[in-house]
Amino acid sequence: MATAHAVSTRRDLRFSGAWIPALIAGIAFLALPFGRPDRAFFTLDPAFRPWALGSLWVWLVLAFALLALIASLLPLRVTARGELLTVAGGLGLLSGVSWLMGTGTPFGMGALLSLIALVVVTGYGLSESGRIQSDAFVASSILFVSLFIILFILFPLFIVLRTAVFVDGSFTLNKVWSTLNSPLFIFAENPYTEQSELALMSRFAVIGTVLGALWALSRRLKFARFALTCGVAAAVGFFIGFMIYGRGALPTSLLVATIVATVSTLTGLVFALLGQRTRFGFVQRSLGAISLLPIITPPFILAFALIFMFGRRGIVTYQLFDISSNAIFGIVGVSLAQILAFTPIAYLVIRGSVASLDPALEEASQTLGADRWTLFRTVTWPLLRPGLANAFLLTVIESFADFGNPLILGGDRGYLATEVFSAFAARFDPNEAAVYGSVLLSMVLVIFFAQRWWLGRSSFVTVTGKPSSGSFAHLPRVMEGLLLSVFALWTLLVLMLYFSILYGSFVQLWGINNTLTLKNYRDFMTIGWPVFLYTARVAAVSAIPAAFLGFLIAYLVVRQRFFGRSFVEFGSMLSFATPGTVMGVAYILAFNVGPWLLTASSVIIAIAFVFRNMPVAIRGGVAGLAQIDPSLEEASTTLRASSSVTLRRILVPLLIIPLIGGLIFAFVRAMTAISQVIFLVSPGNMLATVLLLGWVEQGQLGRAAAMGSILIVSMLTVILLLMLLTRRRDAGVVGVGA
Amino acid sequence: MKRLIGFIFSAALLFTGSAFAQQVNLLCSPDLAWCEQIGPAFEEATGIDLEFVRLSSSESLARLRAEAANPTFDVWFGGTGDPHLVAFTEGITEFYKPTVWDDLLSGLKNAVGETYIPLYTGAIGFVVNEGILAEVGAPVPQCWEDLVDPVYKGLLAMPNPNTSGTSYTIIATLIQIFGEEQAFEMLAAIHQNVAQYTRSGGAVGLLAGRGDVGVAIQFMHDGVKYVRQGFPVINIAPCEGTGFEIGGISLIKGAPHPDDALAFIEWALTPEAQAIAAQRGESFQVQSNANTPVPPESPDLSSINLIDYDFATFGSPEVRDRIVAKWTNEVFPVPRR
Amino acid sequence: MTSSPIRAAPVRLEDVTKLFSKEVVAVDQVDLTVEPGTLVTLLGPSGCGKTTTLRMIAGLERATSGRIFIDDEEVTRLPANLRDVTMVFQSYALFPHMNVFENVAYGLQVARQPKEAIRSQTLEALAMVGLEGLENRATNALSGGQQQRVALARALVMQPKVLLFDEPLSNLDAKLRKRVREDIRDLQKRLGITSVYVTHDQEEALAISDEIVVMNLGRIVQRGTPHELYSRPATRFVADFIGSASFLAGHYDGKAVTIGGFSFPHQQETPAGEVTVMIRPEAIRLSTDRAGLETTVRSSSYLGAVTDFVFSSPHGDIAATIPGEGLTPLLRDDTAYLTFRSAGIHLLPANDRHKNPDS
């Protein structure tokens, strides 16, 4: 080491690196138009150059950029300069944003670039002043992530809530009242029935009270608790009666959600138990494949196949059993379609808690002489309960949010998710749509927080489902037979439906003219293929930021301590929990006019995908980081690496598998998404699922089947490639909450 | 950080909007098959790109209202006339007199005046699957009043007026024949028989063709499509008379590509362009240009008892919104017996 | 390496406090100076704040208040990657996706050194820790001791102003631990590099340090050379934590100490009166003539060169390590008379009730 001071590791601190973004902010401000007249983003319209805007306010952006530039080049004390940069960057940002929001001018290239640069300046400031205890990269990342969450998650949702109570610019609760009072929402008393529905509901309340009282008596509760128990039981009873006898979107959605969640959870439990304790290996292996299905299938494809299997002229109902009924339209059909779609999700959640059961526990109780039933009742079941609760609540949320199945199979009833859509897209009543959206959102959030409060942090968002090793007791034979028949029935049904889609893509006219043909694929190639390619392109382009942003957020949340960390967690949780239709309305309301005009472009679709799929990548990143010793990063830091270098050279190589996994899942989920983006498609920005839904509705069934088959097969290929890459037997875990 | 900015910039470049290109953004409301044929034919004829989104006519109106401040579409093509009239009244679209104005069927022009350009016409009827009806012993309905019979329980399908212009035409027709009060009583009774309300007016015939229902209420020319595709259905014109539509084409006010929009409207009204509907678009309306040959499959309008449809009244925003809201709140939510 | 002396830099902490939350005080008003070129050990039980102090010097934690100086320059709020400080971690923290050479070269590569310089300096550093020829090995193919040497080389190659060690030996077995700690000490002395070393192992601290800083409950209890701490502990906690000792109540009159009826001469600058007498085990001799403190044998363990005894007396139990087998073989419940060598005696204030939480 002859060159002792060659390793001059101390960065020169006489000036700050913030001069580069400050300079960029200034140049962008002067060289590019700050606003734009309409949707065309890449305009050089001279009317929107800063000097043509006729506003002094907007020049504050330049003033603060210059202040930051000067500050970063002056030989100040590091912390003092940091404070100065923070103030200059922050105020510059604020003045730019406030000008845009105040005038309602859509942001232009100049605004975009200079504001981004000012965020970086602020990041330098926060880091140098020591307010964020890390380097400028982390500080800027924290700022960007927070701003993204505000702009693309909280702001649109806020607009929804505001639209619900602000009609024509003034505050009123009339719309909320009239919407919630509308028979579309709740229709309690059916005039066509002899008895009163409310009386029936009250009868349920009475039954509930009696049962509650009996239970309370058996527990010898004191009076106050006795009364409380009876009250709760009465409310639960009335609620059940309300779901059964009430009509309108609210009771219908509640009823379907309850049915679906119950059946899916139980079936999921059957699968999970079989997966771990069956004597038949092939059952375990096929479970791995089944867990993939919901991820690769556009959500409404099964609804579409169900009509052909179980409709009035359905292959099963009519040709096999000679039943002519269209009972499939309505609660039955929607529930069945949702059960088929969500059972694998419930399975993945429950599998996590089944896998975490310790075989030693069971062995211990077996040595104590417990037979298998006792064992199951006293040991296994209590351990399973949290997983079951998780699965139940997650399925409830999914059912509320589901949009495609009710649209196709809904029958004569309305559902909350479809009412959001028809209020906006059909009746064009944004206020009404916003009220519905707020109701749906608050129901989902209540469930979400109840779950967090009840089950603690081990929520379904963080389920990792690491399979544990160790040998498990086989199931009792009778029980195994029972479970296997459930599994066989389910598998048969699903295979039949998938096969019917594939078959339908090769016949002339499904159900009427069964001549084999390639015509549907020819039609698909001329009309569907460009849309498919476009969708794949947007999905791929959005998957990259979705994966990296998710990864970055995971890194910040897990490894950095900063003010607002729980805010970032909350925001990304919100984008996970919000039903797609609500987010769709939110985006169209928030980004159609004003400073953040983005609609009718690929950008808005890509942004929707990014923030919809980012939580999956966050979960992957969090799970991956948990397995990496933090001292690796600290070692890298003490070896002079900035956090961006550490991320690039240490964490990315070590976490490359979960990262690629996040990338591919973001892609696949984007390819099969519909509920949010159906609000956002515009001429030239058509997406495969939206086109597919149109074909289904318009009766272009052969083509729809062809598109469905191609989507499913190509997504399956992508997933299989991923599994090959990661050498994992199933990749379902990452897809929970698809 | 520089990389991040670089990425954002290159991602933005990936999405360079086709805003500069010659292009028409079309909001297309007729049958999807027709919409799909228009783009390639127009591009071949003029060299101008065409992008479309297909939405039912009521949905289209909703979309145009939503975007009124900042339209993305240039032309609204097809769909029932009432929403076109509403859009004109609300100032969302503007009237443009095409050079072929004199060639258009004068009956259509007189009915709508200078509000939107007539594109085609067709009458409401029943698309009936006789096999299904025979199964339950229900007769083939011949009149509107037949539909209220409980024998058709679970056997009817019609579109939802919230999304479909066809459905609004059906309701307006009933009101004009029977008066509003009786019409809504009938709608309530029909509601008891309806198995499924569809989003799109053209789609109900599919339910009848597939056998999910026995009777679909929709435009008869859409029924022709299902007959031709091989579904076992027939077309019935109601005995009390029936309403009809004058499908329209409108120029959007503030269209982003006004010149190309006008070029498209001119092209769309030529006999060659209109003939595409029947030749390749599975759509059998009577086209508005008198020089366009009437497709042989089209229902013969002269043999159908057409009512004197009051376009001015039922095309006014107030009437339309009131009727749709009334149906939505008073008929639709009521449970079945 | 020897040809390019590292400019040894002092480290100074002024009134440094670290709060993890409002209630949890990890480090409480610590003042500390590390002279250039010395090795100072932070010693204390787990949770005493020693590691937090070390991490604040590294920049991995930020002080809640107070100021930190390295080479007389304030670095309190300077990010870790801008301080000329490197660290050897308890878990080695070798990058698993890099081989030995890449691990050691990492810091130089990050600093964008020329390729040739990186190569020569990396090989030189590896030679220095005795790992010549292993540069292409995967790190998980090395033994624990070798891995720790790689970590040491990786820290040294940066020629830091300060080198930090966070319990570097705790993952090694006892024999290896002794060897590696001697190597570390040798290298540190040879390079004259300012080092701060954290351990909870008092033997390790005694063996390796120029100076030891004993910490407890976030505060510095005492600092001094190993010898000072051993022979003149300031508190019962220090006495107990460094080496072992027995504590008996006694009286000091300025010249002699009296325990029970037995007096022996002792000189110490401490006020006369009631005291707690600290007695190191090796300071105890068996009296042959009944002149001494009368005790009974509670237990004895023969260890070859020495025998460990526990004697009980009315004033408390006394642990003793006595060379050889003694003049008379002592059995349980035998009476023994003890005398004390002044070198192993230290007087503490009588009211020092400060207990070592570990004992």
Give yes or no for residue B264 having a pLDDT over 80: yes
Give Cα A447 to chain centroid, integer Å: 15
Contact between B32 and A137 using a beta-carbon 8 Å cutoff: no
Separation CA B132–CA B139 (nearest Å): 10
Highest mean pLDDT (candidates B15-29, B291-305, C177-191, C291-305)? C177-191
List the single residue in A137, A544, A698 with the smallest CB-CB distance to B32.
Answer: A698
Least confident of A54-68, A364-378, B82-96, B230-244: A364-378
Q: How many CA atoms lie within 13 A of C269 on its CB side?
A: 1
How close, in Å, is residue A557 to chain C by CA atoms? Answer: 17
> Is the confidence at residue B262, as pLDDT, over 60?
yes
Range of the domain at B48: 21-122+245-299
Kindly state whether residue B277 falls inside one of the protein's structural domains.
Answer: yes
CA angle C50, C51, C53 (to 5 degrees): 65
Contact criterion met (CB below 8 Å) for C213 and C41: yes
* Rounded Cα gap, residues A676 and A670, in angstroms: 11
* Domain assignment present for B270: yes
* Claim: this prediction has a pTM higher than 0.80: yes
Measure in Å the smallest separation between the Cα of C180 and chain A Cα atoms: 20
- Are both B100 and B219 inside the same structural domain? no
Give the pLDDT score at C121.
93
Domain chopping of chain C, boundaries: 11-231, 244-349
CATH number of the domain within which B166 lies: 3.40.190.10
* Per-residue model confidence (pLDDT) at position C353: 53
Could A683 and B51 be called an inter-chain contact, meaning their C-beta atoms sit closer than 8 Å?
yes
Q: Please give the residue that has the higher pLDDT: either A449 or C129.
A: C129
Q: What span, in angstroms and rounded, lies between the C-alpha atoms of C68 and C78?
A: 10
Are B231 and B327 in a shared domain? Answer: yes
The answer to whether C60 contacts A638, with C-beta atoms less than 8 Å apart, is yes
Residues 436-455 of chain A with CB under 8 A from chain B are none
| % chain A with pLDDT above 90 | 17
Closest-CA distance of chain A to residue C158, Å: 7
The verdict on B195 and B324 lying in the same domain is yes
For residue A40, pLDDT over 60 is answered with yes
Query: Which residues of chain A from 681 to 720 reach within 8 Å of chain B, CB to CB?
Result: 681-684, 686, 694-695, 697-701
Q: Are residues B106 and B129 in the same domain?
A: no
Q: What's the pLDDT score for residue A462?
A: 34
Residue A314 tokens, joined: 């359905």
**Token digits of residue A350:** 């429950």
Nearest to A7 among C58, C62, C108 (CB): C108
What is the homologous superfamily of the domain C11-231 according to CATH?
A: P-loop containing nucleotide triphosphate hydrolases (3.40.50.300)
Q: Is the pLDDT assigned to residue A325 strictly greater than 80?
A: no
Q: Which of A422, A424, A695 to substitute to test the interface with B, most B CBs within 10 Å? A: A422
Pick from A640, A647, A650, A652 the residue to mutate for testing the C interface (most C CBs within 10 Å).
A640
Q: How confident is the model at residue A458 (pLDDT cuts 50, 70, 90)?
A: very low
Q: Are A192 and B200 in contact (CB < 8 Å)?
A: no
pLDDT at A734: 41
Q: How many CA atoms lie within 13 A of A39 on its CB side?
A: 26
Nearest beta carbon to residue B25 from set A683, A695, A698: A683
Which of B2, B53, B92 to mutate to test binding with chain A, by most A CBs within 10 Å of its CB? B53
pLDDT at position C197 = 94
Query: pLDDT category, A569, cuts 50, 70, 90?
Result: confident
Return residues 288-327 of A near B (CB < 8 Å): 307, 311-313, 318, 324-326
Neighbours of chain C (3+ CB pairs under 8 A): A
| Segment A292-310 mean pLDDT | 80
State whether ipTM is beyond 0.95. Answer: no
Return the H-helix or E-strand segment holding A493.
Answer: helix A477-504
Is C79 in contact with A135 (Cβ distance < 8 A)?
yes
Distinct helix (H) and strand (E) counts, chain A: 32, 4
C-alpha span between A49 and A35 (Å, rounded): 7
Summarize the confidence of residues A506-529 as an average pLDDT: 83
Total beta-carbon pairs less than 8 A apart between chain A and chain B: 206
- Chain A residues within an 8 Å CB radius of B135: 324
Those residues whose C-beta lies under 8 Å from the C-beta of residue A6, and which sit 6 or more positions away, are: C113, C117
Task: Tell if the CB–CB gap between A134 and C93 is shorter than 8 Å.
Answer: no
Tokens, residue C78? 């300077």
Strand pairing partners for B218? B125
Say whether residue A2 is in contact with chain C using an 8 A CB cutoff.
yes
Distance CA A184, CA A165 (A): 19
CA distance A622 to chain C (A): 19
pLDDT at A356: 65
Shared domain for B82 and B219, answered yes or no, is no
Same-domain check for residues B179 and B45: no
Question: How close is the nearest chain A Cα to the Cα of C204, in Å?
Answer: 23
Residues of A in contact with B213 (CB under 8 A): 312, 326
pLDDT, tens only, A629-671: 889 999 999 999 988 899 999 999 988 888 888 888 889 889 9
Whether B150 and B211 map to the same domain: the answer is yes
> Which of B8, B72, B192 faces A683 most closely, judged by CB atoms?
B72
Find which of A1, A634, A650 to mutate to test the C interface (most C CBs within 10 Å of its CB): A1
Q: Distances from the Cα of C202 to the Cαs of C41, C238, C244, in angstroms?
A: 10, 10, 10
Q: Give the nearest partner residue to A684 out of B2, B18, B194, using CB atoms.
A: B18
Interacting residues of A581 by C-beta distance below 8 A, sequence separation 6+: A401, A403, A417, A418, A420, A421, A437, A440, A675, A676, A679
Domain count, chain B: 2
Task: Give the full edge-to-edge strand order of the sheet including C39-43.
Answer: C85-88, C162-166, C194-199, C39-43, C211-216, C219-224
Of the candidates C3, C89, C157, the beta carbon closest to that of A635 is on C89
* B229 within a domain of the structure (yes/no): yes
- A contact test, residue of B127, B212, B226, B320 with most A CBs within 10 A: B212
Closest CA to A487 of A269, A720, A719, A173: A269
Tell me what pLDDT residue A4 has: 36
Q: Quote the minimal CA–CA distance from B193 to chain A in Å.
A: 10
- The two three-digit tokens of residue B77, written as one number: 């093509």
Asked if the model's pLDDT at residue A625 lies above 70, the reply is yes
Tens place of pLDDT for every residue, chain C, 359 residues?
433 446 788 999 999 999 988 888 899 999 999 999 999 999 999 888 999 999 999 988 888 899 999 998 888 878 888 888 999 999 889 999 899 999 999 999 998 899 999 999 999 999 988 898 888 999 888 888 899 999 999 999 998 999 999 998 888 888 888 888 898 999 999 989 999 999 998 889 999 999 999 999 999 999 999 999 988 898 888 988 888 888 988 888 888 888 888 888 888 888 888 888 999 998 888 887 878 888 888 888 888 778 888 999 888 889 988 887 555 677 778 888 888 888 888 988 877 654 444 43
Nearest CB to A682: which of B53, B135, B230?
A: B53
A656 and chain C in contact, CB less than 8 A: no
Do B176 and B32 sit in the same domain of this protein? no
Identify the structural domains of chain A with CATH numbers, from first to last: 15-131 (no CATH), 193-246 (no CATH), 247-504 (1.10.3720.10), 513-738 (1.10.3720.10)
In the block, residue with structure tokens 């920005």? A685
Whether residues B131 and B117 fall in one domain: no
In whole angstroms, give the CA distance from residue B58 to residue B36: 20
Give C-chain residues touching A3 at CB under 8 angstroms: 4, 117
Indicate the pLDDT class of residue B177, thresholds 50, 70 and 90.
Answer: very high
Confidence (pLDDT) at C3: 39
Q: Rounded to a whole number, what is the distance in Å from the CA of A120 to chain C's nearest CA?
A: 18
| Chain B interface includes A534 (CB < 8 A) | no
Q: In this prediction, what percent of chain B has a pLDDT beyond 90?
A: 39
* Bigger pLDDT: A607 vs B58: A607
- B306: which DSSP letter? B
Nearest-CA distance from B182 to chain A in Å? 18
What is the chain B residue with the closest CA to A139? B1
Calculate the alpha carbon distances from A328 to A306, A332, A348, B151 in Å.
8, 6, 28, 20
Residue A85, pLDDT score: 92
Instruction: Give the pLDDT score at A472.
Output: 65
For residue B13, being part of any structural domain is answered with: no
Does residue A522 sit at the C interface (CB-CB below 8 Å)? no
Chain C contact for A7 (CB, 8 A cutoff): yes
Cβ pair B63:A697 closer than 8 A: no
Burial class (CB in 10 A: 0-12, 13-18, 19+), C260: middle
Chain C CA closest to residue A4: C4
Identify the chains in contact with B, defined as 3+ C-beta pairs within 8 A: A
Does B256 contact A38 at a Cβ distance shorter than 8 Å? Answer: yes
Q: What is the mean pLDDT of chain A?
A: 82
Please count the other Cβ atoms lying within 10 Å of the Cβ belonging to residue A29. Answer: 27
